[in-house]
Amino acid sequence: MKNISIYILTVISTLLFASCDDYLTQESPDKPTTDQIWVSYDAAESYLVTAYSYVASTGWRYHEYMYLPQNFRGDDMFPESGTTQYGYLGRIVGFTNTANDVSSVMWKNWYRGVKLANDVIANVPDMDMITQEERDQLVAEAKFLRGFYFLNLQMNYHSIIMPLAVASSPADLQVPTSTKEEVYEQIEEDLTFASAHLPASWSDDNWGRATSNAANAFLGKSHLFNEQYQDALDAFSKVTGHSLVSGAEYRSMFDGSNEVNDEVLFSRGYTADQMDILYLYHQLGVALAPGDLKGGWEMASISDYYLSQLEAGDIRKEASVLLDGETFDGEVINFDDPTYKMSIKYVESLNAINSNRSVVDLILMRYADVLLMQAEAMYELGSTGDALDKVNEIRDRAGLDDVNLSGTSLRDEIRKQRMIELVGENSRFYDMVRWDIAKEQLTLAMQPYAQNFEEKHKYFPIPLEEVQRNSKIEPTPGF
């Protein structure tokens, strides 16, 4: 997808869907162009590709509106002055946010993606000019994306709405919130259909498009978050053809040199060519660097707690964090503050920091995550030997000795390996919330705003704008 589909995405979005940004306040935005879309496979596919655009934003919008709320609230990455000096960002990481804050942007973005997916799901089945197999594939891809967006919404908000049809009148936009059980049921229905009708892989030209393996990985994740452990294992068992990259290749997944590999199941792609022509890039390099390193914006650093959990010889350290006096991109780096610990996942070079532009693919699901989710589900079901094997597979790749653990010691090792393995990958805070250890861990790690954390901060409130627009929902209590 990063070679051709983002180009299609940009052209189609520009020419046809200016009104999609107002999904939650507009009537069916596709009406003026319906006769141009559902007339051929290529046209419908081009429309479908636009639904991928809300997986991750571009430019500064990504690190401020998506990466920050998903990663800066845990015990592994701490906000720095580049975040806390701005009230609208500081309120998120300081647990003083309101219902009229930055978190509303994720809500809007993901529902725009849902709207586009719903258009495909509603219209493609009536396209008699293409084959049933083509119809199933297009709908499956759209259902994958809808399931992906609903899962992210469920993980982030106290309650969510589930629009499942294309709005034909303003009244259709008045949708009540759904129960947690209803949301997970819909996610699982969508991803099950996707897993049955998507290919296990695509050609390199279509890298980044949803596959049956990605669908099964997210289906398993959905079951795991819903504490349906056997169902999670059943889904994970259908992930085939993927493996861990070698320890020597580990860093290459995050510096742009080895983005198409057997470990990545789903990612958002960027390329240097698209950066210059279409302005598609993110800015994690400059956002995560300290001010004295090529003018970095110093928005977050790796925590002392994270470093304390690393064992000697763990190869993931050099791929995840840069310390004072160490070498990066061929240069020895000395920070003005020698205690600064820079996160370097998705930071490819010093030039990426200096130019304010990074084009490293953003990984949304990889096989290491699947293995650790399998280990957790196995542990919860009492299959501790199998769980231990999965943990040791992760440890082996990291260059660490096997462990022989059982009981809560094994559970704690699974949790620790998830933190170390997935730092900066939209994981840790959500794990702490579902394990009900968020307050405990934030306090233990001396997160600077741990004292502000309350039960309500496990999730974001329904945005005020949505409450004002939608007469069928109520404000989130406490906000």
d(CA 331, CA 308): 26
Evaluate whether residue 421 is within a structural domain. yes
Evaluate whether residue 183 is within a structural domain. yes
Phi-psi region of 415 (alpha: psi -120 to 50; beta: other; left: phi over 0): alpha
Q: Determine the residue type at 424.
A: G
pLDDT, one tens digit for every residue, the chain (479 residues): 444 344 444 444 443 443 333 434 333 444 435 678 999 999 999 999 999 999 998 899 999 999 999 999 999 999 999 999 999 999 999 999 999 999 999 999 999 999 999 999 999 999 999 999 999 999 999 999 999 999 999 999 999 999 999 988 888 889 999 999 999 999 999 999 999 999 999 998 899 999 999 999 999 999 999 999 999 999 999 999 999 999 999 999 999 999 999 999 999 988 777 666 667 899 999 999 999 999 999 999 999 999 999 999 999 999 999 999 999 999 999 999 999 999 999 999 999 999 999 999 999 999 999 999 999 999 999 999 999 999 999 999 999 999 999 999 999 999 999 999 999 999 999 999 999 999 999 999 999 999 999 999 999 999 999 999 999 999 999 99
- Residue 337 is predicted with a pLDDT of 97
Evaluate whether residue 278 is within a structural domain. no
Closest CA to 469 of 21, 22, 25, 23: 25
Q: Are residues 144 and 190 in contact, defined by beta-carbon separation less than 8 angstroms?
A: yes
DSSP for residue 325: T
- Residue 32 is predicted with a pLDDT of 36
State the CB neighbour count (10 A cutoff) for residue 466. Answer: 23
- Residue 171 is predicted with a pLDDT of 86
d(CA 144, CA 124): 15
State the CB neighbour count (10 A cutoff) for residue 88. Answer: 11
CATH number, domain with residue 212 = 1.25.40.390
- Residue 274 is predicted with a pLDDT of 66
d(CA 209, CA 198): 10
Size of the chain in residues: 479
* Residue 458 in tokens: 């496990």
d(CA 382, CA 407): 9
Distance of CA 250 to the CA centre of its chain: 19
Evaluate whether residue 296 is within a structural domain. no
Q: Are residues 63 and 298 in contact, defined by beta-carbon separation less than 8 angstroms?
A: no
Q: Determine the residue type at 5.
A: S
Evaluate whether residue 350 is within a structural domain. no
Evaluate whether residue 85 is within a structural domain. yes
Evaluate whether residue 172 is within a structural domain. yes
14-21: list long-range contacts, CB under 8 Å, 24+ apart. 16/47, 17/50, 17/116, 20/50, 20/112, 20/115, 20/116, 21/112
Pairing of strands 331-332, 77-79: unpaired
d(CA 459, CA 133): 40
- Give 333-386 pLDDT, tens digit per residue: 999 999 999 999 999 999 999 999 999 999 999 999 999 999 999 999 999 999
- pTM for this predicted structure: 0.94
Q: Are residues 457 and 95 in contact, defined by beta-carbon separation less than 8 angstroms?
A: yes
- Residue 275 is predicted with a pLDDT of 64
Evaluate whether residue 452 is within a structural domain. yes
438-445: list long-range contacts, CB under 8 Å, 24+ apart. 441/74, 441/75, 442/74, 442/75, 444/75, 444/305, 445/75, 445/76, 445/303, 445/304, 445/305
- Residue 172 is predicted with a pLDDT of 86
Structurally, how many domains does the chain consist of?
1
Residues 6+ positions from 116 with CB-CB distance below 8 Å: 17, 20, 47, 48, 50, 51, 54, 142, 145
Q: State which residues form the domain around 414.
A: 5-272+364-459
